[in-house]
Structure 1
């Protein structure tokens, strides 16, 4: 049993959901786009999910009602606080540093934002952001939504921008950009010597670690997008996914630090591959892979258009890669539903994602002898 009572309480609720459904870990994991071993760790309390969205999808699959989902979210919040290490988060986001390997970022062409993956609270920040920003941030977010609807500010380009008093979009989405390949492999570029870089974090703590080191994604950036409709009966059709590159420079020469620290079973969800080195990158749908079983299985490539509802969410993984570019980019997701169309901008909290090719020395962490960063062969 987990030592921490909050983690144990949360794990017990997840186990109860799994027992109610009756399906195996592997069968449920396929529906949730996680491995069977990952779902087992949630049930045993060995791991607390980084985001509530995956557990909320489990609750929906297992027929949980609104009250049960709220109790589950409250338990996840307590467990997340208890399990998360006491690492001070960076303060207000500062202006990007200037230097030979960084160019000023262009102004975003229109506003952007993300909404939580819960139809019951449309437009408010996620549970983790509410903790991070406090009630002031939550109130400001709600006021921003009200102002946007009142003034007719629509978060899509073209004709939709001209519409007056456009109602909110009929879908919600969450974005995670510090996703590691197979849950264990990733490379960060950090402008510091090896003796000044702390050990690799656990995968769920990658974002605060990377922000504290002012790290840049090295070689590729994996962006996980979870999307669902607001209605359980009316589908929202995801029409297309576009890539917008807003800045290009030579790949930075910072040292590269590999996060590989051992892998379990892995699931690559519905996957889009993006080659940022092309003049006009596109999101190309490719097959995923589930390595959690004894032999593994291929997850078929997704074909857009694709329909989602509140009770049938979907998760996509975008793998944006580069060898020679220091690229700044974001995604646009086109949707249609309820007689309306629109475009959602998917970015890094209002800023473009940043991915650079690896040009400097590469280091891996030695967990046995030196317990420090050593040159990687």
Structure 2
């Protein structure tokens, strides 16, 4: 199976004001009536909230009292109208950052050999933002060992048991040292491609297909699917139990010296990973992949980088590390 190339490409007073007018006028003029000067009879509000009133004079009304009444009414109305008209400031919307576009620009600036392909997916765990570049299918090589162990742990959970001593021996050798014989034993234990498919359906992997027969290294996957798998291992919402997640993540944090290249180049702490490298006999070209978790300045990232068509292992490793750095930098820049 061969991967395919993928590149992203004035008016009336208000009701409230009228009520103030009526209320103040009633207080002032009724007071005047008690001294035998004048009285006010306030009539009902009309349908629009306007107030009408009739004023009758008993004795001749003093012009001073009338002036005082008008001054009192007007002075009461001004602050009420001002308060009612006060504008409410609008909140400014936060700018939207197109992470996919930033990632595409960053990856396309990385020097890749002619004929080689690369795809990457990254998640900023703190913000929950993610980005993906490329959607092509690639050979997993040894990164499928994370999927094999996750499937075995899920199968053991379903059976209500832990891993046996032998299974733990195989698991440790398979993840820490990338031991192929151990991977073959556990591939058989999960039911090979069918067992992997059943587990991945529950994990949410949509585009991963197990290799034929015992050829687990030729499983096909996408960067997006590998990011989904990393969420199952390092996230809190997972089909795997807390104990299973801690066990698998712990092994990924103990990779043998000499196999700890790849996405680790993008981080300074919290590094846990699994790499895959496979020379294709038909072409002599290399599949080079790396998946895992890295920490940078107190922030955690999940990163999956897949590549094929590399002329040498060393050139493929260099590309994968450069792409991992570029992917994380897209989020470090804000």
Q: Could you tell me the TM-score, scaled by structure 2's length? A: 0.23
Structure with bigger helix share is 2
TM-score by length of 1: 0.21
